[in-house]
Homo-oligomer: A and B are copies of this chain.
Amino acid sequence: MTYCVGIKLKSGLIFASDSRTSAGVDYISVFCKTHRFSVKGEREIFLLNAGNLGTTQEVVSILRREIQKSVEGNILELESLFDIASHVGDTVRKVMSRLPSDSNGNFSCSFLVGGQIRGESQRLFRVYSEGNFIEATKETPFFQIGESKYGKPVLDRIVTYETNTPDAIKCALVSFDSTMRSNLSVGLPINLYYLPNNHTSTHDEEPVDVAEALSALLDEDNEELENVRQKWRTGLQKVFQDIPNYDWWKSSINLNRID
């Protein structure tokens, strides 16, 4: 499995992905699931993938080859992030259409596509196996793909569009911790990217340069990650112990028992 998160904050975009791919527990490999396409100052585009590795690698390879061969309408040329999400969707459709739909194999995949192009706001999309896509908003500021459920509650509780960057990064890491504890097929290292928001809303100004993305690769030896994980673990247990015990049964309404 895979776990990837993309968060769109007022202060910038955060992307995080795990690195484990498994075709069964006896065939586990390390793959980077975040792909960066950048032109310094002009655009920073991130593509994160989950799902069938064959499908996602083919999609990413096609997109990269288009850039190498300077094919018209490649990711480094397209005018807006909407066009890029749409192009990724088209490429997914093309790859999926060649795969057997009646096979037992699950070839489906999903992508997060986000970033910034000079003159445009930061945007974040989630592209489905069918090639369609949705965009993150202020009300729904994060997307997850892959093994997303274990790590969703903490994001639901903490992250909003207004959350500051360090908190959102901490929260993403806690979310990864919960996922990795509950599902062995999600594993370290975590690829983490932060793209500060350089967009100015004044329309008659010259568009400012897109900020440079910052990256970190967090593995088992990373003390700060270990510290977050351990503080969260012990903190949770403390919160838990601090909730008073009640005698539930006293306040209970007896069920209509069918004995």
Chain A residues 167-198 with CB under 8 Å of chain B are 167, 169-171, 174, 178-179, 181-182, 191-192, 194
Task: Judge whether A248 and B169 touch: CB under 8 Å.
Answer: yes
Number of interface residues of A (CB under 8 A): 63
Q: Quick one: which of B32, B150, B192 contacts A150, CB cutoff 8 A?
A: B150
Which chain B residues lie closer than 8 Å to A238 at the CB level? Answer: 235, 239
Which chain B residues lie closer than 8 Å to A252 at the CB level? Answer: 192, 214-218
Task: Judge whether B239 and A224 touch: CB under 8 Å.
Answer: no
Task: Judge whether B228 and A243 touch: CB under 8 Å.
Answer: yes
Which B-chain residue is minimally distant from A149 (CB atoms)?
Answer: B149
Contact with B along A141-179 (1 / 0, CB 8 A): 000000001111110111000000011011100100011
* Count of identical protomers in the assembly: 2
Task: Judge whether A240 and B171 touch: CB under 8 Å.
Answer: yes
Which chain B residues lie closer than 8 Å to A151 at the CB level? Answer: 153
Q: Quick one: which of B179, B215, B232 contacts A243, CB cutoff 8 A?
A: B232
Chain A residues 9-64 with CB under 8 Å of chain B are 32, 35-38, 64
Q: Which 6 A-B pairs have the closest CB atoms?
A: A235-B239, A216-B252, A149-B149, A166-B245, A153-B178, A214-B249
